[in-house]
Amino acid sequence: MELWFSESQTKDQKISVRVLETLYSARSDYQEVAVYKTAQYGTLLALDDIIQTTEKDEFVYHEMITHVALNTHANPERVLVIGGGDGGAIREVLKHKSVKKATLAEIDRMVVEVSKRFLPAISCALDDERADVQICDGIKYIQEHKNEFDVIIVDSTDPIGPAVGLFSGQFYKMVYDALKDDGIFVAQTESPFYNTALIKNIHNDLKNLFPIVRLYLATVPTYPGGLWTFTLGSKKYDPLQVEHFDEMETKYYSPEIHRSAFVLPNFVKQLVDER
């Protein structure tokens, strides 16, 4: 008998992956947490039946949500990742030698524990001495920190449940205040095919705060539609003007990808050009 995991990516589209074994399944205080061994993507982490990350394609997302901002900043020392309990973003952040401390503010302890147990290649840096893991609501955490971070990354679930507040104008103001004078913010901002209103709203909210706002793209096979957006707001440094790139091993990101990721197809350009 064949077993399949299916995610309803929209109400009219599903992605299905053949499951070799269910490794873990439990309800946390916040969501259904499941880990599957799959034929196509290796170990897969799903929350509330939505794919968060897989062993095979995680590098695209984790490299792109981190290195663009960290290379844009002249000297990133203090970094905050909100969400990101699988540890992939922290692993990439800590590849930058300038980073003295990378804080993870993840609401769900179970996501961190399950990732450490079943996704060691992704979560491996969570025990690094420069990693500071806080189990808390990222919104509450950011309210209590002002003028402290060089880079803030929001590596959240989709805008449902506890993540809704991470996509609001009010939250972005708190992010702005938690950043230093030359700080940079970046967030995963969903699919340009299916989340057009959300992308526009985020772009407009950030434009009300940051002098430099840029959207960039990457291709993540297991995310709805494949093509994925990230939105960056910067107080000083422009990601299009980066000249120095930290040397490190990556599978997707490179200086060429950094530059080309900001080249947008017309339909995406229109989304961010219209106010």
As annotated, the active-site residues are: 155
Tokens found for residue 146: 């002002």
Taking CB under 6 A as the criterion, which residues in 115-154 touch ligand SAM? 137-139
The length of the chain is: 275
Cβ neighbors of 126 (< 8 A, separation 6 or more) are: 87, 90, 104, 112, 115, 116, 133
**Contact with ligand SAM (CB under 6 A): which of 55, 108, 150, 205?**
108
- Residue 122 C-beta: closest distance to ligand SAM, Å: 10
Q: Kindly indicate which of the ranges 71-79, 104-112, 179-187, 191-199 contains the residues binding ligand SAM, using the contact rule CB under 6 A.
A: 104-112
| 48 forms part of the interface with ligand SAM (CB under 6 A) | no
User: Judged by CB, which is closer to ligand SAM: 92, or 108?
Assistant: 108
| 264 forms part of the interface with ligand SAM (CB under 6 A) | no
**Contact with ligand SAM (CB under 6 A): which of 7, 92, 106, 150?**
106
- Residue 162 C-beta: closest distance to ligand SAM, Å: 4
Q: Kindly indicate which of the ranges 35-43, 68-76, 145-153, 158-166 contains the residues binding ligand SAM, using the contact rule CB under 6 A.
A: 158-166
**Contact with ligand SAM (CB under 6 A): which of 46, 79, 82, 264?**
82
Q: Kindly indicate which of the ranges 9-17, 72-80, 81-89, 251-259 contains the residues binding ligand SAM, using the contact rule CB under 6 A.
A: 81-89
Task: Give the span between the Cα atoms of 7 and 46, in whole angstroms.
Answer: 9
Task: Give the span between the Cα atoms of 127 and 112, in whole angstroms.
Answer: 11
| 239 forms part of the interface with ligand SAM (CB under 6 A) | no
Cβ neighbors of 30 (< 8 A, separation 6 or more) are: 107, 108, 161, 162
| 156 forms part of the interface with ligand SAM (CB under 6 A) | yes
- H or E element, residue 273: helix 266-273
- Residue 106 C-beta: closest distance to ligand SAM, Å: 5
- Residue 35 C-beta: closest distance to ligand SAM, Å: 12
Q: State whether residue 89 is helix, strand or coil.
A: helix
Buried b (16+ CB within 10 A) or exposed e, 218-250: bebebbbbeebbbbbbbbebebeebeeeeeeeb
Task: Determine if residue 176 is left, alpha or beta; phi over 0 gives left, psi from -120 to 50 gives alpha, anything else beta.
Answer: alpha
Task: Give the span between the Cα atoms of 138 and 81, in whole angstroms.
Answer: 9
Number of shown-chain residues binding ligand SAM (CB under 6 A): 25
- Residue 32 C-beta: closest distance to ligand SAM, Å: 11
Task: Give the span between the Cα atoms of 204 and 61, in whole angstroms.
Answer: 23
Cβ neighbors of 272 (< 8 A, separation 6 or more) are: 199, 200, 203, 215, 264
Report the interface residues with ligand SAM, using CB under 6 A.
30, 47, 52-53, 61, 82-86, 105-108, 111, 137-139, 155-157, 162-163, 166, 188
